[in-house]
């Protein structure tokens, strides 16, 4: 694995199938891209918020099926503590879910693929790529 694709990448893909995100996903083999349980939780929650939630949840499940889903484990927990401490000291804390996602990615040496570069770029030692625009 090389990438951890963030929630907003999947939302962008699900809303705009003919997009830059789709091109990126097609250009990289599925075994090089991971997701995590937090991302799944956010996407399933989003599917519940709108009409025809069962269909939307099925689409999410089908879309994510080819990708390995990583847990928040003990190694990620140590990275979480280090990242949070560092961000608190610098006064630049990020959102709680993004902090957990960053911890999983950094603990496994993965690049975070996101459209939320500004948030993730604050995390020391985390490599981030913008997958939602061609620029």
Share of the chain above pLDDT 70, in %: 99
| Position 61 in a domain | yes
| Position 47 in a domain | yes
CA–CA gap between residue 98 and residue 7 (Å, rounded): 9
Position 135 scores a pLDDT of: 55
Six-digit token pair at 135? 């620029």
Question: What CATH number did the domain enclosing 116 receive?
Answer: 3.40.50.1010
Residue 120 has pLDDT above 60, yes or no: yes
CA angle 21, 3, 5 (to 5 degrees): 50
Query: Which residue, 13, 15, 102, is CA-closest to 64?
Result: 13
What DSSP letter does each residue of 45-66 carry, written as one string?
Answer: HHHHTSSSHHHHHHHHHHHHTT
Give the pLDDT band of residue 77 (cuts 50, 70, 90).
Answer: very high
| Position 82 in a domain | yes
Radius of gyration of the chain (CA): 15
Mean pLDDT taken over the chain: 94
Residue 18 has pLDDT above 80, yes or no: no
What DSSP letter does each residue of 29-49 carry, written as one string?
Answer: -GGGEEEEHHHHHHHHHHHHT
Over residues 23-37, the mean pLDDT reads 95
| Position 105 in a domain | yes
| Domain hosting residue 48, numbered range | 3-130
| Position 123 in a domain | yes
Over residues 48-54, the mean pLDDT reads 90
Query: Are 4 and 126 contacting, i.e. CB atoms less than 8 angstroms apart?
Result: no
| Domain tally, the chain | 1
| Position 135 in a domain | no
């Amino acid at each position: 694995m090389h990438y951890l694709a963030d929630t907003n990448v999947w939302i962008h893909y699900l809303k705009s199938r003919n997009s830059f995100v789709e091109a990126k996903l097609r250009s990289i083999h599925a075994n090089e891209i991971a997701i995590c349980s937090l991302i799944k939780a956010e996407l399933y929650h989003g599917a519940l918020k709108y009409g025809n939630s069962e269909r939307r949840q099925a689409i999410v499940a089908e879309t994510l099926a080819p990708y390995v889903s990583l847990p928040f484990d003990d190694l990620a927990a140590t990275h979480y503590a280090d990242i949070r401490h560092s961000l608190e000291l610098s006064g630049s804390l990020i959102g709680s879910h993004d902090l957990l996602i960053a911890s999983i990615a950094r603990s496994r040496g993965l690049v975070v693929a996101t459209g939320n570069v500004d948030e993730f770029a604050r995390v020391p030692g985390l490599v981030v790529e913008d997958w939602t625009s061609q620029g």
